[in-house]
A and B are shown apart, each in its own frame.
Chain A
Amino acid sequence: DVKVTQSSRYLVKRTGEKVFLECVQDMDHENMFWYRQDPGLGLRLIYFSYDVKMKEKGDIPEGYSVSREKKERFSLILESASTNQTSMYLCASKQGGETQYFGPGTRLLVL
């Protein structure tokens, strides 16, 4: 079974802090994704990566950056957290076909 893990289930941070969200997959998948999920808005794509050190902006990249130094790990970085970044963050991965496999999510609260 594909396993996608995220470093934290819950995080509380202060405005202006730098925040790292980590995602690891164990199936050697090429593609990895970061989404945020907000009530009434569904899932929106922040960034994705199709290979090590490669990244593409999604629909809402502003205020975020990403890092993919190793194939299995994809990090989402909030350079200076703001209250409007309070959300559920979901990581996903896939290989070749279109089915994405999701992690359990990180619920981030920015105070």
Chain B
Amino acid sequence: GDSVTQMEGPVTLSEEAFLTINCTYTATGYPSLFWYVQYPGEGLQLLLKATKADDKGSNKGFEATYRKETTSFHLEKGSVQVSDSAVYFCALSDQAGTALIFGKGTTLSVSS
């Protein structure tokens, strides 16, 4: 079945460092792809999404490009801040477009 694999954490960075969190997927068809973020003690918030190949989603300085040829949707940010410390989840829509299938999450910790 469809699945999402994202890099194991935790990822520990200094402020202003470059961030990459890898995400690859296995899917039948052409799912939409998402990154959600969960700040400490909160629920998940949509960070960005892409609905077709070569689309780039972006928000709050984060970017991810839907790469069909490598089945990837890696999350990047040029300069992280302490406030970016959170758990990041990659997800794809299931074949029916009803539910989301999530990766296991990657914890990011940014220190000043």
Contacts and interface: CB of A to CB of B under 8 A. Distances in A.
Interface of A: 4, 31, 33, 40-45, 48, 50, 58, 90, 92, 98-105
B70 to A, nearest CB: 22
Nearest to A38: B104
A50 B89 contact: no
Contacts of B97: 98
A105 B32 contact: no
B17 interface: no
Interface in B55-112: 89, 93, 97-100, 102-105
Nearest to B91: A43
Contact of A45 (B34, B43, B46, B99): B99
Nearest to A40: B104
A100 B42 contact: no
A100 B46 CA distance: 8
Contact of A102 (B41, B43, B49, B93): B43
A103 B104 CA distance: 19
Given A42-B102, A43-B44, 10 more contacts: A40-B104, A43-B105, A48-B98, A48-B99, A58-B99, A90-B44, A92-B44, A98-B93, A102-B36, A104-B42
B45 interface: yes
27 contacts: A4-B43, A33-B99, A41-B104, A42-B89, A42-B102, A42-B104, A43-B100, A43-B102, A43-B105, A44-B102, A45-B99, A48-B98, A48-B99, A90-B43, A98-B32, A98-B100, A99-B34, A99-B46, A99-B49, A100-B46, A102-B44, A102-B45, A103-B43, A104-B41, A104-B42, A104-B43, A105-B42
What's the dominant secondary structure at chain A's contact region? strand
Interface string B38-54: 00011111100101000
Contacts of A102: 36, 43-45
Contacts of A33: 99
